[in-house]
Amino acid sequence: MAHSISPRILAPLVLALTSACPGEPLPVDDEVGESTQTDEDSTDSTDTSTTGEPSFESCDFEWIVNTPILAGDATPSAYAPLVLEGEELFIAHQIGAQGQLDTRVTRAQQGTGALISSLDLDLSSSSDLPLALVRPSTGGYAITSTDAIEGAQVWRLDDQGALVWMASDPLANFARGLVELPEGRLASLATRRVGDQDDDARLTIYALDTGAVLETHDYGGEVAANGFSLDEAESLVVGEDGGLFVGLDVYLDWDTIAPVIHAFSPLDLELPLWTTPLIAAEGQLVHLRSFVRTPDGLLVAIHQRYDATGMFWITALDPATGEIAWTVGRDELELPTIEYSNARTIAASATHLFVAGAWRTEIDAVDVWQGYVLELDHAGNLICHATLDDYVPEANTFSTVTEFMASGVDASGDLLLAGYSIAAFNPLLEGTLALAKLRG
């Protein structure tokens, strides 16, 4: 069974990847990015002139920067990993035209979103798919990607983009998890084919400086009654003590998938300390999207149903025991009427949680796609909600869709977001990298 990717807003993602070597860095002109101050932006969907009296409090974007990166007919992947470091942000994203999407690592200022520089990489001779990004403590970059021939790849690059080492596993793909561990180690988590009817999550520990494989561990569920055990790796979080929290989707039947989180001691990555299913409902395909460790000691995950509604839940767990502290569903929050939603990313500050993605909602009897952010407290209560669209009420039209793919919280507790803005109906419109900041 192929890995499940949530339905794209505009077009399906087509993967045809082969390997190549990273290219040379290219400078970026700071004037390329176009900043939009949202204080004067008429696209706030909570404006009562277009939507009527809102039933929720609105958060405000401090700034939004859109930088052209894609040809008009290009469709980016559903991944754009973001790392915050000091006063800068780093994002791995796709650039180019349809059929030849390469990888760029963009550096920007956290305070303004102004672009500082970029590093262009060619990780595949066909189309790159960067999945995870780390800025190791020793400098440079670690990036995971998926290649149709070489499988899951981990690239270790220096600050100029020169190759330090690359590791690949032809039987693995979709290496979404990537974290730096103590004692000069790097951990990746990928989905790996171990049999014709059996996929597991493969955890691989590398030496950060050489790429030597130090250990591997496979995690998966029991074989289902139909003979299949197609379990998929989804997310990886490192604990305060260097232990790991491993998130995967466990196959239970043709129409039933349940997200599960395992906790491991740093001394034993084979047997979990605890295992917690987030939801296990017969006849539902529910996938773990992402989870995060909060400063006050919670694990908080977003998981989503793959159907015509895109229903999602936010669940908090005790990291010591795996006990679920609370769960809140999308439809339990005080939100506008939502017909479909993507919950892509979650981030946490000392006091707040942020969930972001894109959804389709109704404004003036028109279905409009919006990028959104939900801001909650650590008990799952909604504080405010921000949306982004270019809906024009007089014409009943909108032209672009912004979908937030990755997020992080800065030292002040403010939210930084990265994603793509792509054309809703006009294939001649250029796609952009979208960076945004929201006050926490």
pLDDT in tens, 90-142: 999 999 876 688 999 999 999 999 999 999 998 877 788 999 999 999 999 99
Q: Is the model's pLDDT at 278 over the cut of 60?
A: yes
φ, ψ for residue 39, nearest 5 deg: -60, -30
> In this model, does residue 333 exceed pLDDT 50?
yes
What pLDDT is recorded for position 56?
Answer: 57
Tokens of 371: 């990028």
CA distance linking residue 341 with residue 335, whole number of Å: 12
For the chain, what percent of residues have pLDDT higher than 90? Answer: 70
Instruction: Read off the pLDDT of each residue in 34-59 and give the average, rounded to a whole number.
Output: 46
Is residue 79 very low, low, confident or very high in pLDDT (cuts 50, 70, 90)?
very high
**Per-residue tokens: 57:** 């409090």
Cβ neighbours, 10 Å, residue 335: 19
- pLDDT at position 53 over 70: no
Give the pLDDT band (50/70/90) at residue 429. confident
What is the arithmetic mean of pLDDT over 187-201?
95
Kindly state which CATH superfamily the domain 25-438 is placed in: YVTN repeat-like/Quinoprotein amine dehydrogenase (2.130.10.10)
**Close Cβ partners of 415 (under 8 Å, ≥ 6 residues apart):** 347, 349, 354, 356, 373, 375, 407, 408, 409, 437, 438, 439, 440
Mean pLDDT over each residue of the chain, to the nearest integer: 86
The kind and range of the H/E element at 255 are none
Q: pLDDT for 404-413, tens place per residue? A: 999 999 999 9
Minimum mean pLDDT among 26-35, 209-218, 343-352, 356-365: which range?
26-35
Domain ranges of the chain: 25-438
Contact between 48 and 54 under an 8 Å Cβ cutoff? The reply is yes
- Is it the case that residue 229 has pLDDT exceeding 50? yes
Check: CB of residue 269 under 8 Å from CB of residue 253. Answer: no
Give residue 176's Cα distance to chain centre.
Answer: 9
Whole-prediction pTM: 0.87
144-175 residue pLDDT tens: 998 878 899 999 999 999 999 999 999 998 99
Residues of the chain with pLDDT > 70: what percent? 87
